[in-house]
Amino acid sequence: MSYNTETNEWVNWVEEAISKKRIVHYEYEYFRNIKEIGTSDLGKVYRANWKNNFQFFGLKSLSNINDNAIKEIINELELYRKIDSHENIINFYGITIADQENQFGKIQKYLLVMDYIEGETLEEYLKENFHNLTWRKKSDLAYQLARVVSYLHHKGITHRDLNSGNIIVYQNTVKIADFGLSKRIKEATSKKKIDLFGVIPYIDPKRFDKQLYPLDEKKSDVYSVGVLLWEISSGKPPFYVEGQPYNNNLAVKILQGYREPIVPDTPADYVKLYTECWDGEPDNRPSMNNVVNRLRIINLQSGARKTSVNNQLTNERTNLNGNENSSNNISYQIIVNKTTEYIFETINKGLLGKLHILDYFKNNNINSQEIYDWLINNQENSNSNFLLGYFNYYGVATNENHEVAFKLFLKASEKDHILAQSYVGKFYQYGLGTIKNEKLAFEYFEKLAYRNYAIGQVDIGYCYSQGVGTGKDSNKAVFWYEKAVKNKSIVAMSNLGTKYKNGEGIIRDDKKAFELFKKSAEGGYLYGMKMLAYCYDNGIGTNIDKQKATEIHQKIMNKKKNESSDELTLRNREDIFSGETEESEEMLKTKKNVHNNRNQKEVSIHSSPKTPPNRVYTGKGIEEENDEELQKSPIELKRDNVSLKEVVDIINEYREGKIEDIDFTYTQYDFPTTKEHTATLDIKIQHPMKKFGTKFWLKLETISKVAMENKIKEKILCEWVHNNDKKFGNYSYSGTK
C-alpha cells in the first residue's frame, strides 16, 4: 500500500477506530531510535523506543499489500481487540501514522505497533538446541503451545495455519506471531493458487479430501498441534528428508492415515495425546482445553519445569544498548544475572529481600547505585527488567515506587521471567502498584505451579487454603504444598506441617508435622523455627523439651535484634514474597511466652478479639501481674500512607477473626523537657492481606504533644483512636512519674 493507493476503507477504518478509542494511536514523533531490522509479509519492520520507555517496540509497515488484503488486515486487528495481553502472543498495541518525509524516506504512512521480539522459529530453535533440551524443556514448550491455542479458541479465534515456521521461540518462550494473517495475506495478494506444499504435514487431512466437508476449524488447529507435539519430541520437521520437498503424494498418504513413527523414550501419555490430536477424524480429536489439561498432568508427572534458573539467568543476551562489545557492559550484565539468581535462591528458600540483597552487595563489593544507574540505560533483557523493578519496589538506590516496579515486573514476566511472574501475581494479590485482582494473581501462581516452580506451588497452595482468587480447598492446598516440599521449599515444609498438625486436607499426623517443622527450621525459615519451638513446648510429635524451645526462641530473638526497625518493617512485608505462611492458632499461645525473656523496659503482648480493659502502667516500665489478660485493639499503620478508612477496615476484619496475629511492643521512657511519662508503641501486624510495622507516640492519658513533626499522620490517627475508645474498646493509659 502506498500513499497514492490507500483505499478509503482502510483510512476510514483507522480513523474511526482511533476516534472511538478501539485502537490506541501512537504519535509517530515520540518514537526514537528507529531502526530497520527486516521485512515481513506486510512490509518492512522497524525497531524503536517510545518516548523515554526502555522497552523496544516493533513497527510493521504495510508496503507489500494491495487493496484485496486490506479486509484481512482489518479482520486481524479486530481479532487482536478480542484478546488481552498474553505472554505467548506477540501483542498488538496500536497504530502510528508516520510523516511522509522522514529519515527513511519511503517508510509507509501506517505502521502497526507490536511487541519487539528477537526470536527464531520453532523449527530453527529445535534444529539448533535440540541436543541440549531435556524432556522437561520439551514438554514445557508443548504445554505453552497448547495453552495459547486453547486461549485463542476460548476467545473464538482459530489460527488455521499453525506450523513450526510461523511459531517463534524467544528466551525459551513460545510466541504466536499472528492469527493466520500471513497465509490470508498471501491468498489476498496473489493471483495464483497458494503453494501449500511447504506446510502439508500440518494441514488437516480433511482438506485434501476431494469430497467437500464442513471443516471444524478448531479441530483442524488441534490436528496441527498434534503434529507440532511430535515435532517437539523429535527435533525435526515431520516427514523431513533433506533436499526433498513435500508433494501431492505425501498429502495422499497422510489422508490415508500415514503418520510419523513414535520417537523412542517418549512418555506414553504424551504419545497417546498427540496421536489422538492427529486422528484422521476430527470428531475423535480432543478439544484444546483437554489437551492443555492433559499436558499439565504429564508435566507434573515428569517434574516438568520451564528451565533451570541458572540457564535462564546465564543465557540472557548481552548485546547492550550502544556498546555491544563493551567489556564493562558485559561485566555489569554478569552482576545483574548473578544478583537475580541470588534473589531467586533466597526467596525460594523462604529468606527475605532488601536486607539480604544489601548484604549481598556489601559482601561482593558491589555499588548498588552504579548498578541502578546502569540498569536505567540497559533494559533489553528480562533480568535487567526484573532487577530494576526490584530496586524500585524496595527502594534500593532510589525511592520506592510500586507503580514503576509493577510495570517493570510485568514487562519481565512477558519475557517469561519466573521471579517477575511471581511478583506480578503478588502485586495483583495485594493491589500494589495496580488494581487488586486476586483471580488474576491466582492465574499467575497457577502458571508457575504447573511448571513445577516451588515459589508458585507454595502460593497456589496458600490460595486454595485461604480462598484467594479461588474457592477454599484444603485437599488441593496440601497437594501443592507437597509438590513444593519435593522441590525443597522450606516455606512449604512449614505450611504442610501446619496442615498435618491441624488435620486439614490430610489425616492428622503430629510426628510428620514435627519433622516438617524441623526441616523448615534447619533451613532458617522463621515460621518453621516458631512452630518447632511450639512442638518442643507442647510435646507435639516429640517429647516436651523446654530447654530446646527456649534456645529456639532465643535464636528467633537474636535474628530480629540484628535488624534495624526499617529493615524489620521491610522484612515483614517481604514475607509475602517468600510464599504465604500457614500459622496455626496455637502459635498465639507461644507468642505470650516470648515477653518473659524481654527486659523490664519492653513488654510484648499479643492482641485478641476480646474487648480490652483499661491498661494500667505502674510508671516503672513493668506490667501488672494480670497483664496477660490485658489485650489491645488492633491498629493498622502504613509507613507512608495512613487513612482512617483503613483503620476501620482493619479493626472490622480483626473483629471478624480475619486477622490472626498482631504483636504490640510498648517501650516506656521520660521526656526530660516535659517531665511527662510517654510510651512508644511499635506495632508489627501479620495479616493475610498486609504485613508491615511502624511506630507512633502515645502520652499516658492523652495524646503526646511531643510527637515528631514528620509523624503528623500518625498523630492524627492516635487522636482518632483515642476519641473512639468506646466504640472500639477501651484504649486508655494512666500512670504517674
Among the listed residues 621, 659, 651, 669, the one whose alpha carbon sits nearest the alpha carbon of residue 717 = 651
Task: Say whether 670 sits in a helix, a strand or coil.
Answer: strand
Query: What phi and psi, each to the nearest 5 degrees, are found at residue 615?
Result: -95, 125
Q: What distance separates the 2 farthest-apart alpha carbons in the chain? A: 102
All cell numbers assigned to 1: 500500500
Query: Is the torsion defined by CA of 181, 183, 186, 187 positive or negative?
Result: negative
- The whole-angstrom separation of Cα 33 and Cα 46 is 10
- The whole-angstrom separation of Cα 224 and Cα 240 is 16
Among the listed residues 240, 264, 239, 236, the one whose alpha carbon sits nearest the alpha carbon of residue 254 = 239
Radius of gyration of the CA atoms of the chain, in A: 30
Among the listed residues 208, 300, 322, the one whose alpha carbon sits nearest the alpha carbon of residue 255 = 208
* Total number of residues shown for the chain: 737
Among the listed residues 376, 215, 184, the one whose alpha carbon sits nearest the alpha carbon of residue 285 = 215
All cell numbers assigned to 342: 541470588
Task: Say whether 138 sits in a helix, a strand or coil.
Answer: helix
All cell numbers assigned to 214: 464442513
Compute the CA torsion angle 440, 446, 451, 457 (nearest 10 deg): 130
Taking phi over 0 as left and psi of -120 to 50 as alpha, with beta for the rest, 537 belongs to alpha
Which residue among the candidates 41, 115, 161, 221 is catalytic per the annotation? 161
Q: Is 164 within 8 Å of 228 (Cβ atoms)?
A: yes
- The whole-angstrom separation of Cα 429 and Cα 427 is 5
- The whole-angstrom separation of Cα 530 and Cα 495 is 12
Q: Is 267 exposed, middle or buried (0-12, 13-18, 19+ CB in 10 A)?
A: middle
* β 676-686/691-699 pair status: antiparallel
Q: What is the DSSP letter of 88?
A: T
Q: Is 670 within 8 Å of 737 (Cβ atoms)?
A: yes
Query: What phi and psi, each to the nearest 5 degrees, are found at residue 263?
Result: -80, 130
Residue 612 CB contacts under 8 Å (≥ 6 apart), including other chains: 630, 631, 632, 633, 729, 730, 731
Beta pairing partners, 92: 114
Q: Is 487 within 8 Å of 469 (Cβ atoms)?
A: no
**Cα 31 from chain centroid (whole Å):** 29
Where would I find the H helices in 83-134?
122-129
Residue 725 annotated as catalytic: no
* β 173-176/602-606 pair status: unpaired
Q: What is the DSSP letter of 52?
A: T
Provide the CB-side half-sphere exposure for 543 (13 A, CA). Answer: 2
Beta pairing partners, 71: none
Q: Is 470 within 8 Å of 442 (Cβ atoms)?
A: yes
- The whole-angstrom separation of Cα 238 and Cα 247 is 13
Q: Is 581 within 8 Å of 699 (Cβ atoms)?
A: no
Q: Is 178 exposed, middle or buried (0-12, 13-18, 19+ CB in 10 A)?
A: buried
For 506-553, the DSSP string reads: S---HHHHHHHHHHHHHTT-HHHHHHHHHHHHHTSSS---HHHHHHHH
How many other CB atoms are there within 10 angstroms of residue 646's CB atom? 16
**Which residues form the catalytic set?**
161
